[in-house]
Amino acid sequence: MKRNNSAGNRIFMALVFVFLYAPILLLIVFSFNAGTSSSVWKGFSLDWYGKLFHNRIIMQSVYTTLLVSFLATIIATFAGTFAAIGFYAMRRRVREPLMTVNNIPMMNADIVTGVSLCLFFVAFFTFWGDFARWFNGVQSFIDLPVRLTMGFGTLLLAHITFNIPYIILSVGPKLRQMDKNLIDAAQDLGCTWMQAFWKVIIPEIKPGIVSGALTAFTMSIDDFVISYFTAGSSASTLAMTIYGMTKKRVSPQINAISTLLFITVLVLLAIVNIREARQERLRASRL
């Protein structure tokens, strides 16, 4: 098993990576194109980057995408970590059906999740309209809005809903790996159970929380289908803006903004990886 690959195998792997990265490379290259075409090279230029920052639609959708992804990741990480701990403490008989429900948004086709949430929000708004009309009729102190529509709020709710399962799936195994005696030991040494929670459990499962949050954020950024069904017409993520453009012609400004986002992530990941490698080497040299 530990034997290395033959040259042929390595070439195969390299080809797969070329397949995965060629279109991305192409997008990046053509963000520097002087012409508008995405297949004919007209010379180097930074025009699209300059124009990008004056394009209100694109900047607004980038802002929406980042905001919804950040908020959804933060909320989902909190909620998911607590839920994972709760699940861990449950009896198997109670936990298993709940875990099945938890897996639904992950296993289900995105379009089904999107459609079901869309139906839910519409049904809720109808219900709310009736309620608000009744409520405004019987009293005159508070005036509830009668017409609610899908927008940033529903988008955020949808993102939180599909993010939490990833957190739970990443935190759960870390909890099961944890030595159960640690909690008892902490309590024997005088911790209240709240202290035991913050000082023992959380540090133990931190790697799971971090990788879960990272996955959730990636999923939020990459999502198009669920957002498309839950954002209504008032909010638009970058993916939705791109989709609107693909019907005609995608502006190279989109290439430019995607390049910027991609390079940012690349640099961040490189830093994290180099730091991890360095820490590992340090740990190894100490031993």
Partner 1 sequence: MKHKLSRFAIPYVIWMALFVVIPIILVVVYAFSSASGGFTLENFSRLGTYTVVFTRSFRLALIATLICLLIGYPVSYMMSKEGPRFQRIAMVLIMLPMWMNFLLRTYSWMSILENNGLLNQLFQKIGLIALYNQVFGTDLTFFRMLNTQGAVVLGMVYNYLPFMILPIYSVIVKLDSSLIEAARDLGANTFHVFRRVILPLSLPGVLSGITMVFVPSVSTFAISKMLGGGTEMMLGDLIEQQFLGGAYNPQLGAAISLVMMLIVVACMVVMNRFGEGEEQAVML
**What residues between 82 and 111 interact with partner 1 by CB under 8 A?**
82-83, 85-90, 94, 98, 101-111
- Residues 49-78 contacting partner 1, CB under 8 A: none
In whole angstroms, the minimum distance from the beta carbon of 98 to partner 1 comes to 6
Ramachandran sector of residue 266 (left: φ over 0; alpha: ψ -120 to 50; beta: rest): alpha
269: contact with partner 1 by CB under 8 A: yes
In whole angstroms, the minimum distance from the beta carbon of 218 to partner 1 comes to 6
Nearer to partner 1 by Cβ, of 136 and 148: the residue is 148
36: contact with partner 1 by CB under 8 A: no
The Cα–Cα gap between 213 and 221 comes to: 12
In whole angstroms, the minimum distance from the beta carbon of 140 to partner 1 comes to 30
Nearer to partner 1 by Cβ, of 143 and 281: the residue is 281
Site string for partner 1, 144-163 (x = CB under 8 A): -------------xx--x--
Among 42, 277, 278, 279, binds partner 1 (CB under 8 A): 277
Displacement of CA 277 from its chain's centroid (Å): 25
Q: Please, how many CA atoms are within 13 Å of residue 82, restricted to the half-sphere of its CB? A: 6
Q: Please choose, out of 48-56, 128-136, 137-145, 234-242, the segment that lies near partner 1 by the rule CB under 8 A.
A: 234-242
Among 36, 45, 60, 187, binds partner 1 (CB under 8 A): 187
183: contact with partner 1 by CB under 8 A: yes
The pair of structure tokens assigned to 278 is 């360095």
The Cα–Cα gap between 229 and 232 comes to: 7
Q: What is the DSSP letter of 178?
A: S
Q: Helical H runs in the chain? A: 7-30, 47-52, 56-89, 92-107, 110-138, 152-177, 181-188, 193-196, 202-222, 225-230, 238-246, 252-286
Nearer to partner 1 by Cβ, of 10 and 206: the residue is 10
Q: Please choose, out of 50-58, 134-142, 144-152, 262-270, the segment that lies near partner 1 by the rule CB under 8 A.
A: 262-270
The Cα–Cα gap between 95 and 185 comes to: 26
At residue 148, what are phi and psi to the nearest 5 degrees? -105, 150
Nearer to partner 1 by Cβ, of 45 and 136: the residue is 45
- # residues near partner 1 by CB under 8 A: 94
Nearer to partner 1 by Cβ, of 8 and 137: the residue is 8
Among 46, 265, 267, 271, binds partner 1 (CB under 8 A): 265
Is-contact 194 251, C-beta < 8 A?
no
The Cα–Cα gap between 88 and 174 comes to: 10
